[in-house]
Amino acid sequence: MNEVLSKEPTLSLPLTVKDIENTRINTVDFDNIPFGRVFSDHMMHCDYANGKWGNIQIEPYGNFSLSPACSALHYGQAIFEGMKAYYTVDGEVALFRPQLNAARFNRSAVRMSMPEFPENDFVETIRYLVAKDRQWVPKDANKSLYIRPYMFGNDAYIGVRTSEHYKIVIFTCPVGAYYSAPVTVTTASKYVRAFNGGTGFTKCAGNYAATLYPAKLEKEKGYDQIMWTDGLEHKYIHEIGTMNVFFIIDRVALTAPLDGNILPGVTRDSIITLLKDEGIEVQERPITIDEVMAAGREGRLTDAFGTGTAASVSFIRLLHHEGEEVEVPVDGQHIATKMKDRLNNIKTGREEDKFGWIVKV
């Protein structure tokens, strides 16, 4: 089990490690972990200067200092990723398709005019970090160690330009079982998350900041999440909050295409593979809100669900668009249920990993 710890990770960048003998873990109540507030012992950081990345540094989790002029805080060169490490039924710690997160991180970086980070180093560092803090991975089913890699422009400089200095950080935090009650979603007629040529396909910080105010307004009206539509006509469905979205209409699975407006979700890609594996036709194409509402009205919309790392598959129980509400009975969503179960079974080793998705730590 300690294979990774006994041998150094295979990195292209130099590695320096500062260990901590920490008893902090003894104070953590793993039965009641508040989401995103408890952090494990070690973190990784690495600085970019003079056109190249320096040492990958593994250090005790702790604060660092920044210049008040730090460029990311003004001009928003900031990107992140989100993934999980968890126990399989065989008692091993695993990651789910981390190479896809590494590749997406770099696509975000390129769009934000930031330097790419070697993808193998990204994955290997995470393996090493998780192996080091293995005792922080919760053992209970559905609990996990959340992994947060991010990068930001770190010039002490005022002026709109591509930064010359960057910092990448990866820290981890144990999180409880994520139960997502079936959600209600609404379209937003005034606000837009993404538009052609924009940054919709990236995990840049600004994408999330811009959704908070519209989401607050819709929450006040009683809807859990916004289902974003295109910026030109508000006609085509993009995605929901932090999830990609699927509809099953007349036994055909529909999901928005990767046209630059939506985040290419790791879960989305996996569910498409599993749907096809079940013999279900999948259409990745522009979906109009009108066709989904009509199918809902006519009883042809059998399943509606969001996909994402947090909840894997979240059932949608109600869709709202321009004053009309359509309900999707949750207990009738047999395809969504099957997809959720299969995905979770493959992740945890209950079902054979025939697509080679699991990376053991």
Ligand X SMILES: Cc1ncc(COP(=O)(O)O)c(C=O)c1O
Among 268, 317, 321, 347, binds ligand X (CB under 6 A): 268
Which of 154, 267, 302, 333 binds ligand X (CB under 6 A)? It is 267
Which two three-digit tokens encode residue 10? 């295979």
Residue 9 vs 265, nearer CB to ligand X: 265
Closer to ligand X by Cβ: residue 58 or 168: 168
Cβ proximity to ligand X, 43 vs 256, nearer residue: 256
For ligand X, the binding residue among 95, 102, 256, 263 (CB under 6 A) is: 263
Question: Is the Cβ of residue 174 or residue 265 nearer to ligand X in the bound state?
Answer: 265
Task: Kindly identify the residues of this chain, within the stretch 277-316, that bind ligand X according to CB under 6 A.
Answer: 307-309
Residues 230-259 that bind ligand X (CB under 6 A): 239, 242-244
Residues in the chain: 361
88, 217 Cβ separation under 8 angstroms: no
- E strand intervals along the chain: 15-17, 42-49, 52-53, 56-60, 78-80, 83-87, 93-96, 144-153, 166-175, 183-186, 225-229, 237-240, 244-249, 252-255, 282-284, 301-308, 312-321, 324-327, 358-360
Considering the complex, state which of residue 35 and residue 60 has its C-beta at the smaller distance from ligand X: 35
Burial class (CB in 10 A: 0-12, 13-18, 19+), 258: middle
Residues from 69 through 108 that contact ligand X (CB under 6 A): 82
| Per-residue DSSP letter, 126 | H
Q: What are phi and psi of 85, to 5 degrees?
A: -115, 145
| Shortest distance, position 165 Cβ to ligand X, whole Å | 26
Minimum Å distance from CB 18 to ligand X? 30
Q: How far is the CB of 204 from ligand X (least distance, A)?
A: 10
Backbone angles phi, psi at 145, to 5 degrees: -105, 110
Residues sharing a CB contact under 8 Å with residue 88, sequence separation 6 or more, in sequence order: 94, 347, 348, 349, 358
CB of residue 355 vs ligand X: minimum separation in angstroms? Answer: 15
Tell me the two tokens of residue 287.
């979906």
Tokens for 48, please give them. Answer: 């970019």
Q: How far is the CB of 258 from ligand X (least distance, A)?
A: 11
Piece in contact with ligand X (CB under 6 A), picked from 71-79, 262-270, 283-291, 351-359 = 262-270
Q: With binding defined as CB under 6 A, does residue 265 bind ligand X? A: yes
- Closest separation in Å from C-beta 94 to ligand X: 16
CB 6, CB 13: distance < 8 Å: no
From the CB of 218, what's the least distance to ligand X, in Å?
Answer: 16
Number of residues that bind ligand X (CB under 6 A): 13
Phi, psi angles (nearest 5°) of residue 300: -95, -10
Interface contacts to ligand X, rule CB under 6 A = 82, 239, 242-244, 263, 265-268, 307-309
